[in-house]
Structure 1
Amino acid sequence: MSEPKPIDARTLKRRESMIEAARELFCKHGLAGTTLEMITAETGGSRRTIYELFGNKDGVFEAVIRDCTGRVTSVMAGLELTDLPLRAALIHYGETLMELLTAPDTIRYMRLFLSEVPRFPKLGKVFYESGLMAGRRIITSYFERQMNEGTFPKGDARQAAIFFSSLIKADYDIRQMSYIDWEPQTKDLRSHVIASVDMFLRGYGFDPQNTA
Structure 2
Amino acid sequence: MDGTESAPAGPSGAARYHRDLARRNREALLGAARRLFLDLGYDGTSLAKVAAEAGVSRATLFKQFPTKAELFSAMVTTSWAIGDEQAPPVPGDPLAALTTLGTRYADLLTRPGMADLFRIVIAELPRFPELGRTHFDLGKMPFFDSVRDHLLAEQRAGTLRFSDADLVATQFLGMIANYVLWPRMLLLDWDPDAASVARAVEEAALTVHARHATAEGPGPEGAARPGGVSGSS
Band the TM-score falls in, shorter-chain normalisation: 0.7 to 0.9
Pairwise mapping of residues 1-212 of structure 1 onto structure 2 (< 5 A)? 8-69=19-80, 71=81, 74-75=82-83, 78-82=86-90, 85-153=93-161, 155-204=163-212, 208-209=219-220, 210=223
TM-score by length of 2: 0.76
Paired AA for residue 185 in structure 2: M
Q: Gapped runs of 5+ residues in structure 1?
A: 1-6
The one-character-per-residue Cα deviations of 1:100-133 (angstroms, maximum 9, x if unpaired) are 2123332232223332222211121111011221
Identical columns (%): 25
Cα 1:144–1:172 change in 2 (3 A) is: same
Deviation at 1:172, TM superposition (A): 2.9
Deviation at 1:165, TM superposition (A): 1.6
Tell me how far apart the structure 2 counterparts of residues 206 and 198 of structure 1 sit (CA, whole Å): 14
Cα 1:168–1:84 change in 2 (3 A) is: farther
Tell me how far apart the structure 1 counterparts of residues 224 and 64 of structure 2 sit (CA, whole Å): 50
Cα 1:92–1:159 change in 2 (3 A) is: same
TM-score by length of 1: 0.82
Paired AA for residue 67 in structure 1: T
The one-character-per-residue Cα deviations of 1:132-184 (angstroms, maximum 9, x if unpaired) are 21111101111111111111115332232222222232243111121113211
* RMSD of aligned residue pairs (Cα, Å): 2.6
Higher RCO (CA 8 Å, separation ≥ 6 residues):
1
Paired AA for residue 204 in structure 1: H
Aligned residues: 203
Tell me how far apart the structure 2 counterparts of residues 24 and 190 of structure 1 sit (CA, whole Å): 29
Tell me how far apart the structure 1 counterparts of residues 206 and 52 of structure 2 sit (CA, whole Å): 51
Query: Larger % of helix: which?
Result: 1
